[in-house]
Structure 1
Amino acid sequence: MQFAKRLGSNHLRGSNQATGLIRRSKLTAAIVSALVGVSFSGIANASEYEDRFAEIRGEIYAPENGYLSADGGPYHSIETFIIEAPDHGHESTSEAYSYILWLEAVHGKLTGDWQPLIDAWALIEDHIIPTSEMQPTADKYANAKATYVPEGPLPSSYPLPLTNGAAVGEDPISADLASTYGTWDVYGMHWLLDMDNVYQYGNLGDGTSTPSYINTFQRGEQESVWETVPHPSWEDFSWGGEYGFLDLFVKESQAPAKQWRYTNAPDADARAVQVMYWALQWMKERGQDPEVVAPGLMAKAAKMGDYLRLAMFDKYFKKIGSQDAQGSAGQGYDSAHYLMSWYYSWGGPIDPSANWAWRIGSSHVHFAYQNPMAAYALSQIAELQPKAPNSVRDWDIGLERSLEFFQWTQSAEGAFSGGATNSWNGKYDTYPADRANNTFYGLAYDENPVYEDPGSGTWFGWQTWGVERVAEYYFITGEARAKAILDKWISWVLNATPEKGLPVLDFSDNDVKLAATLAFTGVPEKWDPANPKANTNLHVEVIDHGQDVGVAHNLAKTLMYYAAAEQKHQGEVHQGAKDAAQMILDRFWANHRTDKGVSAPETRSDYAERINEPVFFPAGWSGKNAVGADLNADTTFSSMRPFYNESDPGYQELQNALAEGRDPTYTYHRYWAQVDVATANALYAELFPEADCADGCSPSAKDIAVKTSVNTATSITLEGSDNNGTVESYNYSQASNGTVSGTGKQVTYTPQNGFVGVDSFTYTVTDNEQLSSAPATVTITVEDLNSNLPPEACFTATPTSAMVGDIISFDASCATDTDGDTLSYSWAFGDNSNGSGASIKHSYAAAGSYDAVLTVNDGKGGVDTSNVTITIEEPAGNLPPEACFTATPTSANVGDAISFNANCSNDADGDNLSYSWAFGDNSNGSGASTQHSYSQAGSYNAVLTVDDGKGGVDTSSTTITISEAPVSSASCKYEVQNHWNAGFVATITITNNGNEVIDGWDVNWNYADGSVMSNGWNANFSGSNPYSASSLSWNSRIQPGQSVSFGLQGNKAVFNGPAPVATVTGAVCN
């Protein structure tokens, strides 16, 4: 069973209304056909596992299988009757769209063709990142913040009130994002789409466009998918109750405004960046320039990662550890937990004249959303580093914080439990006593963050999704902490006899069963980054098993990356993890292959129990959704979804099961699961290239290098492996300058007396099929420690002159050793402080001259030192900043956006400046650049204040003149003046209802019944049904309150019929 993602966000405000309709464009069929059209035949010697990838990918794109919508986007599943995070199989999620990238990145790796990956990103931009038309007032966020709304535990707790008095903190990154990318639009995926417009909401209120942006979860931690009320992301009150669906979620003191709002699932956007990292590496491995084969693609991934930082902040930008709904507004990064939280959301009014919008982060964090791979890519890889100020720094901190979070949530057995929150009960309550002191950087432990029905920490799939990223990170970096995290988790996964509960894996009956539901007890220790404590009181138990195809293959990926990382960094593959991964791949392929992919039967007892579950609506609330279902106190899950009926095979299976007294069983083909099947097989072949050999496979022997001292024997362990059997014997040659002795894999090399230099011998291994490996070489370096050459110390200090408290970087990478010995580095900074390592940073607390000394040691008695004088001065008296800004324009109309830019401000000391704005109308702002509009005519004094954080402050001001906005409005009226049996005479009158002169006009009309115009007067005429008329020189100007008319004569379509009446349209007609 797939668990529901709780992504609700209710932040609604304002009372002004507007209507609008902008058609959502569809992806052309060309992109979809391009995704399908690339042949796999170009792969040389594709292994069995790579062939499996090709088969599944082909089945995904086969139209008859039904994985893709008419627009080319991925359905959540082929089958429509499936109820989990999405409540319909032909919905889709940002998760599924991120998996398109996985599929096409691996395809590019195998073929060298990256066009499908480019097209997949285009699909994301076209389908699931809201367009500018879909977030029309995003720029108004410069003038406003979200209004606090508490969360409640139950759907019946809602609606909950807007609380204007509760403090909301400063968003420290959005203004920089707008300045960097030239727009206030958010570049992130909305989490949920209705691919076939099953709910008939469409987009922008049109009721027809696909894919359609919708949302479901909104009402508390106990709201399961069975209790949700699906609703459109564009809320113009066309459906629902009097105010659409808004007043189901938020209680306002006035009529709510028509508005738009979207919610991002950060794990999906992070996965997109993670995949782009691999695509980048695979392009380079092929010798391909990423900017040639996929121009601009890495920059788009970096941009998505830039906006993804919105998930690093508390929901209402309150200080971490707040426990205070009314206060604790964050300033700067006070509200940053630097983790991937459950969502970020943004919204605003449909009415462009309304002067507000909102953005929120999330206070709730789940371990499985953490992605050290994405953080590594965005902080360490030049092509993927975002552009906005502080972004690379934020992701660098985020990488460290995510690994710490895995450590903090790891149980005694090895599994990871839930996560943490900055808002207990969703309303910043005081932390419970049993965990008030067991915090993570001020966050309280929560075993089930965000939702409880079912508990978010209980699904085993979270384990594999989260840990796979740690395994990839370990494979890339070899980082010791990642290894320690994985060692413990892998031991838990492979333990066949746990003390309590079931094992994670069960390979009995020649099949694979794996953990489905977990239960945790206890709480973690308080996090101390300097001295992390083991969580001896936090325990896990596997409750039951399942055969979730996607989770199984994600687990296989995790196991294989760990096994390969051990081989890469520790010198020996982890055979248990490798074998378990291969068994998962092979047994699912052998036992659960269908004509459309790989799928195992699922029994769904919850369907029968909850299909007719009541859905809460407040007393007296009633309305209809877009499919015509009544919404009121009698509504159930199924009654609001009339499309679930006997025509759906899945629904019919449920009815049959109910009649027969059993639970229904389904064989689902989820898109993301099939991609995990395909990519797991392909990557297994990549990580273990010999893996396709089933029998008749020669074993392999590994080259080895060792060192010893003159006249000293050394023990050597020979290393052989066999993919399809066992190594039975080792056979070695003799060395030229020494002797080799011993049997089996353990041998001893004894150098000749007095020999110094490099010696070698070869060996082969023989397996149980009596096949022998190619020779491998053992290289022995025999050293004479008495003739050791000392190292040469060398280092740089940057800078050598600094102020008290400044950071100085010491780098000894220029130190050398002629013998090639491994060096150790120790530092004495001259202020009674010491350090170690090849590079280090240090700051001095007092002014003076310090002799910084580096000592390098080769471990064989060789030592050398080097020193540099560091001069430290007291800071000079702080120089204040100089405030400067531009306002464009300085004369405008009511409602016009005025851009304020303070980039011309400067500080002689180079201090970082903060900017605050007072616009003269009791409105304020912050950031180096911002926008503001005025609601009333008048003269305003806009003041900028810059602060260098060291007591230096300066201001600058300018006068903004605001005039009443000119009103351009006219009416166009068609009137029949006379008619007879065959013809008619009509006039069209244009009346200027505004306050400015209309200078030139043109209008259009047509006759639906087929009548025709024969002639006309007082206008220039053109066209033939539809007809057009434009002004002449003498009647082109229409003064306010005045009218212009022109006449026409025509022939009726029906003899003796009525005279036709046409609707007049044109830019002048409002």
Structure 2
Amino acid sequence: MQFAKRLGLNHQHGLNQATGLIQRSKLTTAILSALIGVSFSGIANASVYEDRFAEIRDEIYAPENGYLSADGGPYHSVETFIIEAPDHGHESTSEAYSYILWLEAVHGKITGDWEPLIKAWDLIEEQIIPTSEMQPTADKYANGKATYVPEGPLPSSYPLPLTNGAAVGEDPISAGLASTYGTWDVYGMHWLLDMDNVYQYGNLGDGTSTPSYINTFQRGEQESVWETVPHPSWEDFSWGGEYGFLDLFVAESQAPAKQWRYTNAPDADARAVQVMYWALQWMKERGQDPEVVAPGLMAKAAKMGDYLRLAMFDKYFKKIGSQDEQGSAGQGYDSAHYLMSWYYSWGGPIDTSANWAWRIGSSHIHFAYQNPMAAYALSQIAELQPKAPNSVQDWDTGLERSLEFFQWTQSAEGAFSGGATNSWNGKYDTYPADRANNTFYGMAYDENPVYEDPGSGTWFGWQTWGVERVAEYYFITGEKRAKDILDKWVAWVLNATPEKGLPVLDFSDNDVKLAATLAFSGIPEKWDPANPKANNDLHVEVIDHGQDVGVAHNLAKTLMYYAAAEEKHQGDVHQGAKDAAQMILDRFWANHRTDKGVSAPETRGDYPERINEPVFFPAGWTGKNAVGADLNADTTFSSMRPFYDSSDPGYQELQNAMAEGRDPTYTYHRYWAQVDVATANALYSELFPEADCADGCAPTAKDIAVKTSVGTPASITLEGNDSNGTIEAYSYTQPANGTVSGNGKQVTYTPQSGFVGVDSFTYTVSDDEQLSSAPATVTISVEDLNSNVPPEACFTATPSSAMVGDIINFEASCSSDANDDTLTYSWAFGDDSNGSGASIKHSYTMAGTYDAMLTVNDGKGGVDSTNVTITIEEPAGNLPPEACFSATPSSANIGDAISFKASCSSDADNDTLSYSWAFGDNSKGTGASAQHSYTQAGRYNAVLTVDDGQGGVDTASKTITIADAPVSSASCKYEVQNHWNAGFVAKVTITNNGNEVIDGWDVSWNYADGSEMSNGWNANFSGSNPYSASSLNWNSKIQPGQSVTFGLQGNKAVFNGPAPVATVTGAVCN
């Protein structure tokens, strides 16, 4: 069944999936105050773009503006009447909660105050990650797995049957997660919350608590938001029909059990990790220790990323490329696509004595959910690496796979189209002929994954959400593949004259309009990672424009990261991308500023068309929801939601518009959009510190240093800059030991007779708006070329407090000499040890206080000395060991023996060490050396733990890459499908079990009882008992893990006898 989808109507947002909570302790005023944090009024020199960030953040937290619920969580929008992915503005999504983190991470970057970020994560844990009480039988998943339910295309296709006979594969990671974290509870956000309990479902069946966990989308790719049936995540049959809402979705042969179930939107959880990466870097840039300013926060993000791997697997853990509803159960990682799919979901019975629970991944993958930033953080950044077995390797593979997926879905023009599915039609049907060969690691191209009303690939916002992460990744790494992807996409975005359709951006009328709806044609090439092909037959066209505030500012962020990355890695800023980003920021701010944010009017033609649309209920099904609305064959979208009435200004606008024969217009303030406005402005200031600004920006003056000799005037050029105009005047003060003369920027300093030393004066510049700069200082060194000025000694010792044996870095680069003489450096460390050089390392062998002294000599008689006090303490006790090992070879095939040796490990105290090994596949070992072989292909994190027996422990790890052993084999299976008194029908399935393509096949069989074959299909047939079948042109190639099938009909040797059984043989049958 489908658990979540986005709606991307023209002039509106697709929306991510969110969350909810039981009635836990409400956020207090103190926590809200912490979220608001410090005022920006005390921050010096904040740019106009940082000021905009502060304004929007203040408005988000202003109670009168209505962005937050009484519990402190973010509403989807300030306005209540809004229908897109949420069907009410005071619902919320995990997307919105991930955007709280964006807001507070940038706030921390600017102010150095990380308390609001900590509280934002507390809010997520309190309100959107289900508690143990809300998933009471999660541990029963250890005893079972999900039961297969096919998907249908329409709401009227439902309910669909539980199918016990269909194969469901093994989940290879949940046991490891449970072992690592000591619980079977899932640490992930549910996608949708009813913040004000508008539907009155509450939590745990209480009908009152907030925020309330609810769900909507469940019934096929054609189910739009207008056709959903909102229902509680805790299904105890209190509302709905006899069995609550369960029998609207799933048909069972017996009465269904009361149960709980939640759905995660991987896009949101991945964004949370992405933001934590930036927060970590910004803490370090400020010289702050993350474990001091935000203790445990990075570990929580890593844990969320650990569970996020559930989205990397097929829905029912079937093999990738399955096309087999009944079979193809996955084992190990052969159900892993390693991408961020549309959801993962989990549930179980409310009755704790019941012995079952379930988890599923998703077979449907959208390019825009891919997050190379999250994958990079979880695989490459030590503080964010998860702990469960294989997790780091999984994310390392996921990073590679996500970038490949962007390459595979990129059109000839540069835009990205849709994605892929491992379950055609939601029931593992055979791929259509025109897509059977153009696959991505065995998965079929789908231009509109998950939903078709409207098509999920048509909303332009997906482009910016997805590509922003690639742009950030390029900014960080400079990777050429990311640059190539972005070069093409940015060229499409900035192209003002496309061959077909509208341009992406329109800056006419001193405003900004941008693409709203896209249309794609064609399909991508088959993905070959060794030789990627351009998708010359996949094309995009912009159909119409809109002014989506959130998408526009997300586009600006994407362009600015790309422009800055070009400057960082290629040497020159991409001026077109930078200018477009700035124009988006400035024009939206100038034209669409409201009293509570930034918003542009939206015309909603879909509202009058669909507000009274019927909602499908099966014949004879009746019930009531918690607000008392009747649910039956006569139910409509509006009748199901009686809270929409004339008291709601948005609903009244719709009624007025319908009465006047026009489309209603709204000015919405979506939470996520306002955060994108705020953060885009702040990050522009970060990426381009000398950023141009709008009107009213003061000019700047530059500090200058010059030298002259005794009695000699110095010519000085004053330097001013104005980002939005011209410099018109220069004003200066007089120095204490000389005079300044001249007009404009060219002045002359004349020292007093006989003066030797340092003199200075200040100056300001004024621009064409009569605005003046802050004073800048001109420093003049007047030297007596016939006399020497002694040097000034200066040094740092890092650290200045240490333990016996610790290395201390002594650095004298801050020493100076007014004459620019070459200096020599002599050190006396206070322990009768000496040294020389501008930088040197030293360690002390005894505890105590030492005066380390530096003496600098300019070689002309000038000498200066300075000292720093160094404090050395005895270690608290034992010195820990250092773990080190080799793995030979580190890349091997399944079954190969790998030698692990820890002889390079050491211990400063010469303690006897013990060694323990975790090979990454749940296997263990001990001893200074060990041998191990792996039984499955993959990347494994082998960890050595060294213990000195005195409380000192250290670990080291290496990645081991295991490939399938080279094989080329297949299994050949003969199955009777039907038989009657005189005849039978059978099929033969040839499955490629190797890792090489089978090109051409020929098999044979015979009937020992004398039965005869009469005809067959899907093969060339020859012979007569034994019979032979060989491949046709279209089914001659069998990809690894895939199968071909041919069928036949025959006559029994014995009337009314059993159907004959045959053994199939051939070169490919092993």
What is the TM-score with the length of structure 2 in the denominator? 0.67
SS at match of 1:972: strand
**In structure 2, how many angstroms separate the alpha carbons of the residues matched to 1:658 and 1:366?**
36
Question: Which structure 2 residue ranges, 5 or more long, are not aligned?
Answer: none
Number of residue pairs matched by the alignment: 1070
> Is contact 2:202–2:208 with CA below 8 Å preserved after alignment?
yes
**In structure 1, how many angstroms separate the alpha carbons of the residues matched to 2:623 and 2:797?**
71
> Is contact 2:449–2:456 with CA below 8 Å preserved after alignment?
yes
Compare 6-15 and 626-635 and name the one that shifted more: 6-15
User: What is residue 517 of structure 2 aligned with on the other side?
Assistant: 517
> Is contact 1:188–1:304 with CA below 8 Å preserved after alignment?
yes
**In structure 2, how many angstroms separate the alpha carbons of the residues matched to 1:702 and 1:1040?**
66
C-alpha distance after superposition, 1:834-860 (max 9, x if no partner): 999999999999999999999999999
**In structure 2, how many angstroms separate the alpha carbons of the residues matched to 1:940 and 1:100?**
35
Compare 1054-1063 and 964-973 and name the one that shifted more: 1054-1063
Q: State the 1:612 CA deviation.
A: 0.3
> Is contact 1:136–1:350 with CA below 8 Å preserved after alignment?
yes
Q: State the 1:242 CA deviation.
A: 0.3
The runs of 4+ residues in structure 1 deviating greater than 2 Å are 1-30, 692-1070
> Is contact 1:974–1:987 with CA below 8 Å preserved after alignment?
yes
CA shift in 2, pair 1:198/1:777, >3 Å: closer
SS at match of 1:544: strand
**In structure 2, how many angstroms separate the alpha carbons of the residues matched to 1:137 and 1:213?**
17
User: What is residue 538 of structure 1 aligned with on the other side?
Assistant: 538
> Is contact 1:3–1:459 with CA below 8 Å preserved after alignment?
no
C-alpha distance after superposition, 1:340-395 (max 9, x if no partner): 00000000000001000000000000000000000000000000000001000000
CA shift in 2, pair 1:962/1:785, >3 Å: closer
Compare 956-965 and 759-768 and name the one that shifted more: 956-965
CA shift in 2, pair 1:862/1:471, >3 Å: farther
Compare 703-712 and 1037-1046 and name the one that shifted more: 1037-1046
Compare 883-892 and 541-550 and name the one that shifted more: 883-892
Q: State the 1:26 CA deviation.
A: 2.9
> Is contact 2:19–2:129 with CA below 8 Å preserved after alignment?
no
> Is contact 1:938–1:961 with CA below 8 Å preserved after alignment?
yes
**In structure 2, how many angstroms separate the alpha carbons of the residues matched to 1:226 and 1:553?**
28
Q: State the 1:677 CA deviation.
A: 0.5
Q: State the 1:38 CA deviation.
A: 2.5
**In structure 2, how many angstroms separate the alpha carbons of the residues matched to 1:316 and 1:1056?**
40
CA shift in 2, pair 1:400/1:659, >3 Å: same
Question: Which structure 1 residue ranges, 5 or more long, are not aligned?
Answer: none
Compare 682-691 and 72-81 and name the one that shifted more: 682-691
CA shift in 2, pair 1:952/1:348, >3 Å: farther
Q: State the 1:32 CA deviation.
A: 1.7
CA shift in 2, pair 1:773/1:145, >3 Å: same
C-alpha distance after superposition, 1:109-129 (max 9, x if no partner): 111100000000000000000
User: What is residue 1035 of structure 2 aligned with on the other side?
Assistant: 1035
Query: Equivalent pairs: percent with the same residue?
Result: 90
Compare 809-818 and 74-83 and name the one that shifted more: 809-818
User: What is residue 82 of structure 1 aligned with on the other side?
Assistant: 82
**In structure 1, how many angstroms separate the alpha carbons of the residues matched to 2:40 and 2:786?**
61
1:427 aligns with 2:427: yes
SS at match of 1:791: coil
> Is contact 1:8–1:263 with CA below 8 Å preserved after alignment?
no
User: What is residue 291 of structure 1 aligned with on the other side?
Assistant: 291
**In structure 2, how many angstroms separate the alpha carbons of the residues matched to 1:489 and 1:368?**
14
> Aligned ranges for residues 146-161 of structure 1 at < 5 Å?
146-161=146-161
SS at match of 1:787: coil
User: What is residue 383 of structure 1 aligned with on the other side?
Assistant: 383
C-alpha distance after superposition, 1:195-226 (max 9, x if no partner): 00000000000000000000000000000000
CA shift in 2, pair 1:90/1:386, >3 Å: same
Q: State the 1:758 CA deviation.
A: 29
> Is contact 2:21–2:126 with CA below 8 Å preserved after alignment?
no
Q: State the 1:44 CA deviation.
A: 1.7
Compare 313-322 and 996-1005 and name the one that shifted more: 996-1005
C-alpha distance after superposition, 1:1015-1048 (max 9, x if no partner): 9999999999999999999999999999999999
**In structure 2, how many angstroms separate the alpha carbons of the residues matched to 1:737 and 1:1018?**
101
CA shift in 2, pair 1:1000/1:96, >3 Å: same
Compare 871-880 and 574-583 and name the one that shifted more: 871-880
Compare 574-583 and 839-848 and name the one that shifted more: 839-848
**In structure 2, how many angstroms separate the alpha carbons of the residues matched to 1:562 and 1:987?**
55
CA shift in 2, pair 1:578/1:323, >3 Å: same
CA shift in 2, pair 1:182/1:578, >3 Å: same
CA shift in 2, pair 1:364/1:1063, >3 Å: closer
C-alpha distance after superposition, 1:626-683 (max 9, x if no partner): 0000000000000010000111110000000010000000000000000000101111
CA shift in 2, pair 1:950/1:231, >3 Å: farther
1:655 aligns with 2:655: yes
CA shift in 2, pair 1:180/1:867, >3 Å: farther
Q: State the 1:526 CA deviation.
A: 0.5
Compare 11-20 and 666-675 and name the one that shifted more: 11-20
CA shift in 2, pair 1:530/1:176, >3 Å: same
C-alpha distance after superposition, 1:906-935 (max 9, x if no partner): 999999999999999999999999999999
Q: State the 1:31 CA deviation.
A: 1.5
Q: State the 1:138 CA deviation.
A: 0.1
> Is contact 1:10–1:249 with CA below 8 Å preserved after alignment?
no
1:103 aligns with 2:110: no
CA shift in 2, pair 1:122/1:888, >3 Å: farther
**In structure 2, how many angstroms separate the alpha carbons of the residues matched to 1:906 and 1:203?**
55
CA shift in 2, pair 1:291/1:817, >3 Å: same
SS at match of 2:517: strand
C-alpha distance after superposition, 1:747-781 (max 9, x if no partner): 99999999999999999999999999999999999
CA shift in 2, pair 1:835/1:346, >3 Å: farther
Compare 334-343 and 904-913 and name the one that shifted more: 904-913
C-alpha distance after superposition, 1:718-763 (max 9, x if no partner): 9999954799999999999999999999999999999999999999
CA shift in 2, pair 1:911/1:498, >3 Å: farther
CA shift in 2, pair 1:259/1:749, >3 Å: farther
Q: State the 1:902 CA deviation.
A: 25
CA shift in 2, pair 1:943/1:41, >3 Å: closer
Compare 231-240 and 782-791 and name the one that shifted more: 782-791
CA shift in 2, pair 1:633/1:330, >3 Å: same
C-alpha distance after superposition, 1:937-963 (max 9, x if no partner): 999999999999999999999999999
CA shift in 2, pair 1:227/1:1008, >3 Å: farther
**In structure 2, how many angstroms separate the alpha carbons of the residues matched to 1:951 and 1:318?**
46
User: What is residue 396 of structure 1 aligned with on the other side?
Assistant: 396
**In structure 1, how many angstroms separate the alpha carbons of the residues matched to 2:573 and 2:547?**
27
> Is contact 2:807–2:842 with CA below 8 Å preserved after alignment?
yes
**In structure 1, how many angstroms separate the alpha carbons of the residues matched to 2:182 and 2:127?**
22
**In structure 1, how many angstroms separate the alpha carbons of the residues matched to 2:732 and 2:576?**
28
Compare 103-112 and 693-702 and name the one that shifted more: 693-702
SS at match of 1:950: coil
**In structure 2, how many angstroms separate the alpha carbons of the residues matched to 1:27 and 1:1065?**
70
**In structure 1, how many angstroms separate the alpha carbons of the residues matched to 2:779 and 2:1022?**
92
CA shift in 2, pair 1:763/1:260, >3 Å: same
1:756 aligns with 2:756: yes
CA shift in 2, pair 1:238/1:510, >3 Å: same
C-alpha distance after superposition, 1:957-979 (max 9, x if no partner): 99999999999999999999999
SS at match of 1:1058: coil
CA shift in 2, pair 1:453/1:982, >3 Å: closer
**In structure 2, how many angstroms separate the alpha carbons of the residues matched to 1:97 and 1:635?**
32
Q: State the 1:29 CA deviation.
A: 3.4
Q: State the 1:558 CA deviation.
A: 0.4
> Is contact 1:100–1:120 with CA below 8 Å preserved after alignment?
yes
C-alpha distance after superposition, 1:425-454 (max 9, x if no partner): 000000111111111111110000000000
SS at match of 1:816: coil
**In structure 2, how many angstroms separate the alpha carbons of the residues matched to 1:970 and 1:320?**
17
1:472 aligns with 2:442: no
